[in-house]
Amino acid sequence: MKLVIVTAVEQYQKEVLKLFKKADIENFSSSEIDGHKNASSLLMTSNWFPAEKGGNESSMFFSFTDDEHIDVLFVAIKEFNENLETNNPLKAVVVPIEKYI
């Protein structure tokens, strides 16, 4: 068993749900998060409130599942990212689980 974590900007939330379904991952959790990128100094100086930090509305999905389902999910995510017209690809990582109850 492993932990798979997928992050996406909010506009791709429905697509991520479809990808989990395609990978036959039925049990998962999600959470709203703020995504951040380090802004260049030029962008920060042009901001009216440069001390104010803002993030992009994003989502994080995670599931405890096996390699078979993760492999299908990663193929689907790779295909999804190859067809994007924006610079906001889905990100995914797998974390091994040493113990669980």
Q: Print the domain residue range for 15.
A: 2-36+55-96
User: 72: domain CATH number?
Assistant: 3.30.70.120
Phi-psi region of 57 (alpha: psi -120 to 50; beta: other; left: phi over 0): beta
User: pTM for the full model?
Assistant: 0.81
Task: Show Cβ contacts of residue 76 under 8 Å, excluding neighbours closer than 6 positions.
Answer: 19, 22, 23
Q: Is 61 part of any domain? A: yes
- What stretch of H or E contains 82? helix 67-82
pLDDT tens column, 38-91: 655 445 455 545 555 566 789 999 999 999 999 999 999 999 999 998 889 999
Q: Is 101 part of any domain? A: no
Say what the pLDDT of residue 100 is: 86
Q: Is 6 part of any domain? A: yes
Q: How many domains does the chain have?
A: 1
Q: Is 66 part of any domain? A: yes
Q: How far lies 11's CA from each of 17, 97, 99, in Å?
A: 12, 30, 35
Q: Is 17 part of any domain? A: yes
